Amino acid sequence: MQSSLKISPVEQVELLKNLYRNNFNFTPANIHAVKNSIHLTASENGEFMEKPEPDE
């Protein structure tokens, strides 16, 4: 899949922060599904998440 849409790393972080805090007012079930899809691991110090690479 090719796309001309480009966002900067800073814009990606802002988007993920807003998504994580549900500043978009999505349903809790949808937010939970997205968080589960990018979640790698958690510890007492925080969580690690990744953005999956798009299928080529």
* pLDDT in single tens digits along all 56 residues of the chain: 566 778 898 998 899 899 989 999 999 999 999 888 877 777 888 777 666 666 65
Q: Would you say residue 21 lies in a domain?
A: yes
In a domain, 4, yes or no: no
Query: What was the pLDDT predicted at 56?
Result: 55
Over the range 20-54, which residues count as b (16 or more CB within 10 Å of their CB) and which as e?
eeeeeeeeeeebeeeeeeeeeeeeeeeeeeeeeee
**Sign, Cα dihedral of 15, 20, 23, 27:** positive
Q: Give residue 37's pLDDT.
A: 81
The number of domains in the chain is 1
Give the pLDDT of residue 24.
94
Q: Please report whether residue 25 resides in a domain.
A: yes
Residue numbers of the domain that contains 25: 9-49
Residue 14 located in a structural domain:
yes
